[in-house]
Amino acid sequence: VLADRSNLEFSLLLDRLLEAQVKSGLRRARLYRDLAQTNDWLSTIALIDSLTQIGNRRAFDIELPRQIHHARRRSLGLCLMMLDIDYFKEINDGYGHIIGDQVLQQLAEQLRGNMRFYDTPFRYGGEEFVVILSNTDVDEAHFIGQRLCNLIANRAFGVSAALNLKISVSIGIANLRPEDDPRGQSLLNRADQCLLKAKTGGRNQVVVSG
């Protein structure tokens, strides 16, 4: 009888130990899952501009080489658009940075709402934005840029109940060439040079790489 009782107690103890191990394993599994989800969330947050809620410079640096690879593999056109808010420093100096931030947010909304669904906008830094125009030749990119330029110039940016601002943008566009590097630095440099020409040539206009 004592032997049977000892065997029963040992069996119960073993069951409890096994149950504890299973629960511990489940807790670890949930912990690992939660950590993975947190890391995914943090990775996503790290690629989003906190002010405008579009992709940031880091996201652009990741996405542009991927888009270039895709375009070359499928023999598709690709263009890069850079745009800059004209006289943005005067907005910040005259109305303050809170108003300036609202202008940036509303411009980002315009980019999201008026580009094609497969075009990808990013805030490159300050008042400068870039848009990757997938499956697009230079003539189509010029049309898209001019339409966006006109839309912004003809729109009032309501930054408060009592204040509507009129702004304009300068735009530079470059198309992907066979000699461009796979990271897209040469493509970006040409778009930047076109943007500079748009600004020095009078602003509120589109300049396309020849």
Average pLDDT value for residue range 154-158? 91
From 9, 127, 140, 179, active-site residue: 127
210: pLDDT confidence band, cut at 50, 70 and 90?
low
**Closest to 82 (Cα-Cα) out of 187, 192, 198, 189:** 192
What's the rounded mean pLDDT across residues 35-56? 78
Question: Average pLDDT, stretch 114-128?
Answer: 93
| pLDDT value of position 74 | 97
According to DSSP, the β-strands at 156-160 and 206-208 are: unpaired
Q: Give the pLDDT score at 159.
A: 81
Nearest to 116 by CA among 62, 79, 75, 158: 79
Can you tell me the mean pLDDT for 193-205?
Answer: 97
Higher per-residue pLDDT: 117 or 174: 174
Q: What is the pLDDT of residue 3?
A: 53
What integer pLDDT is reported at residue 27 of this predicted model?
A: 52
**Is it the case that residue 178 has pLDDT exceeding 90?**
yes
pLDDT of residue 24: 47
In tens, the pLDDT along 46-101 reads 888 999 999 999 999 999 999 999 999 999 999 999 999 999 999 999 999 999 99
Distance between CA atoms of residues 77 and 124, nearest Å: 22
In this predicted model, which residue has the larger pLDDT, 155 or 11? Answer: 155
Q: Is 127 a catalytic residue?
A: yes
Each domain of the chain, given as residue ranges in start order, spans 1-46, 57-208
Cβ-contact 57, 51 below 8 angstroms: no
When pLDDT is cut at 50, 70 and 90, the band that residue 14 belongs to is low
Please determine, looking at this structure, whether the domain spanning 57-208 carries the CATH number 1.10.357.10.
no
Average pLDDT, the chain: 87
Q: Which distant-in-sequence residues (6+ apart) come within 8 Å of 179 by Cβ?
A: 186
Q: Is the pLDDT of residue 192 over 60?
A: yes
| Statement: residue 170 has pLDDT above 60 | yes
pLDDT band at residue 198 using 50, 70 and 90 as cut-offs: very high
